[in-house]
Amino acid sequence: MINISLNGRFLFKYKYPTSMKLGVTGTDILSKKISGGSRHQKEVLVRFAKRYDVTYFPDPVIYSDINQNKIKTLKENAKFFEDNGVKITDAFYKIIEKNGKNKFELMDKYIKESDVDAIYNMDYLYALYHGLKSGYLNYTRYLSKLLDSNYGICIQGLGDINNHLFYSFYSFSYLSAKMGKYFFYPYLEFVYDYFYIKEQLTRLNYDKNLKFIALLNPSQKKNINLKARVPIEVLYPSSGFMGYIEAPAKKDNKIIYYSRLNFMKGLLEIPYIFKKISERIDVYLEVIGKFNTKYEEDEFFSMIKKLGLTEKIKYKGYLPDEELREELKTSMLLLYPSHSDSFSLVILEALSYSVPVVAYDIPGLSYFKGFSNVKMVKEFDINSMAAAALNMLKDSRFSELNESEKKFIKIHVWDNVAMEHSRLIDKYLFNK
């Protein structure tokens, strides 16, 4: 079951009588995929249904590896959105009835019957789908072409794909040598993402139906050096949580690390950082989340064993929201050595529970730079990260927020985020 937070000022409380028919797509939110991007889409989509006549077009990736358990999950989550006023394209039900067979033919047939005036992608995906009759197209561009509709996109997943390619090559090589491993697979993936995403963003300039691009962080615009012929605007606030600060809870003797568990989120550096911390202070580490690949899972546990940390690092797996937040609020510190972020919901959650944070100083986390209880160190500098963590663990004042930081937390609720998306949709797609 999908959990949606409906707290905050709730600017979308009343259903607006509207003729604005909006088609919405993005990355997968109907299966069990867990990420900050999927949370963002779910929270905003249910609020869109209070303002627009919304039809949701799932990304074709959900139709892969169809089985009865997956169909059950897809239908349950689709029902949640329908119960909250979101229509699901008929193509979705026709395709899962056929167990994903002939999906592109069915998409061409049934999506054409959809009644929408504009398309908005809340989490723009760069993948090309070779089965589409329209040729090799990104799904959003395919919808726009098929329905003859203008569209806008929000780019969430850029992270820090920018001009630090060669710096990252040097740093990955340095870490590989230090750890006794040569991480060819992680770096190869980084290089591929860098050039592929750059190429796909360039393609956008040639699409006449694209009317605007939304970003989550001002650093993204500078980082990717995107010169588009359409307006590029930064959402503020661009992510949300509960909008208030809980009083510090009684802390357990633990540090927490949670995220999508992959190398770009610092997974393979975590054991080495924590090893340096545990040599100076008696504390254990909780790791929460789902591994992206078996390769990364095996590497992580191999490192733990090699470093003698089996008893000190507890892997909790994926936890539902309520259980995760209980673990977070009782933690003394959040370790967050991420290399790729557009806006970190993880850090926002930690601050809301008065949990101090140590992170890498990357452009995607620029909103948190200068926070009194967020310490940022040079990317890949595991020694400085461990030292900063030790310093924060020794000083309880790092759990306190000042007034401007409290205001930042209070602004970042999902109602305000949905209103920001709507501001751009109304302005550029509906000329309101």
pLDDT tens profile 254-295: 999 999 898 889 999 999 999 999 999 999 999 999 998 888
Please report, as a single letter, which amino acid is at residue 382. Answer: I
CATH 3.40.50.2000 domain position(s) in the chain: 254-410
Q: What is the rounded distance in angstroms from the CA atom of residue 121 to the CA atom of residue 152?
A: 6
CATH class for domain 21-160+189-240+413-428?
Answer: alpha beta
Report whether pLDDT(49) > 50. yes
Report whether pLDDT(403) > 70. yes
CATH 3.40.50.11930 domain position(s) in the chain: 21-160+189-240+413-428
Question: Residue 382: which pLDDT band, with cuts at 50, 70 and 90?
Answer: very high
Instruction: Give the burial class of 13: count Cβ atoms within 10 A of its Cβ; 0-12 exposed, 13-18 middle, 19 or more buried.
Output: exposed
Query: What pTM did the predictor assign?
Result: 0.86
Check residue 210 and give its pLDDT: 94
Q: What is the rounded distance in angstroms from the CA atom of residue 116 to the CA atom of residue 74?
A: 23
Per the model's pLDDT, the better-predicted residue between 247 and 394 turns out to be 394
CATH 3.30.43.10 fits 254-410, yes or no: no
Residue 430 neighbours by CB distance under 10 Å: 17
